[in-house]
Amino acid sequence: MSKSKRFNPSKSNPSFFPESLRKRLSDDLQLQGMADRTVKAYVRAVRQLAEFLKRSPEEVCDDHIREYFLHLKNDRRFANGSLRVSLAGIRFFYRNTCRREFPSLDLLRLQSINALPEVITIKQVHQIVDATTTLRMRTYFWTVYSLGLRLNEGLHLQVGDIDAARGLVHIHRGKGAKDRYITLPTSTLLMLREYWGDSPQQAVVVSSRWP
């Protein structure tokens, strides 16, 4: 194989990854129900492969795959997370869009770091909530904590998503663009009612106008 090439994003050449092939990959990913961010990441992974090799992805052989990933690991020193995205995108492209098998795509093994996430105690949670200076902030943090929401989900939670009668909260398009229902704790409902007053005057549960 030829000596490793240095990939320069500023010299991208769209002709190496034909638009028709790019669209077919994008369509295949959407049919698989992939999120928009995943579609863009996988298309980018294949585009970067083509630009590094200076050839269409359809003209790639297994030796090219080996060369590229050795380049990412040894020359560009990609972190495992970035390597994993590149591998997943390229593997999907060849197995689903091009219907080709390359042994090197199964050869690459990425070490996983199984570190446990840091978990704060209930006492620490109450200390954080009590340290807030406004009812709005206190309501937001308690809602996010008690419902197990991601920060962005808490900001986009709508008043209409709260079903007090059934004790449920409807989360729209969470992780993986999936909807889910969460049990509404009584303590959270009481705090929301205190924040709203007699009736909510806004569409979102907690206003995102940060102080």
Alpha helices in the chain (DSSP H): 19-31, 36-53, 62-70, 80-92, 104-107, 122-130, 135-147, 151-156, 186-196
Residue 202 lies in a domain: no
What pLDDT is stored for residue 8 in this prediction?
Answer: 44
Q: What is the pLDDT of residue 200?
A: 61
Residue 55 lies in domain? 9-107
Residue 176 lies in a domain: yes
- pLDDT of res. 3: 46
Distance (Å, rounded) from C-alpha 125 to C-alpha 10?
A: 47
pLDDT given for residue 210 in this prediction:
47
Which of 61, 84, 107 delimits the end of a domain? Answer: 107
Which stretches in the chain have pLDDT values below 50? 1-12, 210-211
Confirm whether 159 is domain-assigned: yes
Report the side by side order of strands in the sheet with 180-183: 162-163, 168-171, 180-183
Predicted local distance difference test score (pLDDT) of residue 172: 82
Contact 185, 146 (CB under 8 A): yes
pLDDT at 27: 96
Predicted pLDDT of residue 47: 96
pLDDT at position 157:
86
Cβ pair 169, 182 in contact under 8 A: yes
Q: What's the CA gap between 41 and 63, in Å, rounded?
A: 23
| Residue after which a domain boundary falls, among 65, 83, 107 | 107
Domain boundary among 40, 73, 107: 107
The pLDDT score that the predictor gives to residue 179 is 85
Judging by beta carbons within 10 Å of its beta carbon (0-12, 13-18, 19+), is residue 50 exposed, middle or buried? buried
What pairs with residue 181 in β-bridges? Answer: 170
pTM tops 0.85: no
Q: Count how many domains the chain has.
A: 2
Tell me whether residue 89 is in a domain: yes
Q: What is the pLDDT of residues 136-187, one digit of tens each?
A: 888 888 988 899 888 888 888 888 888 989 999 998 876 666 788 999 999 9
pLDDT of residue 202: 63
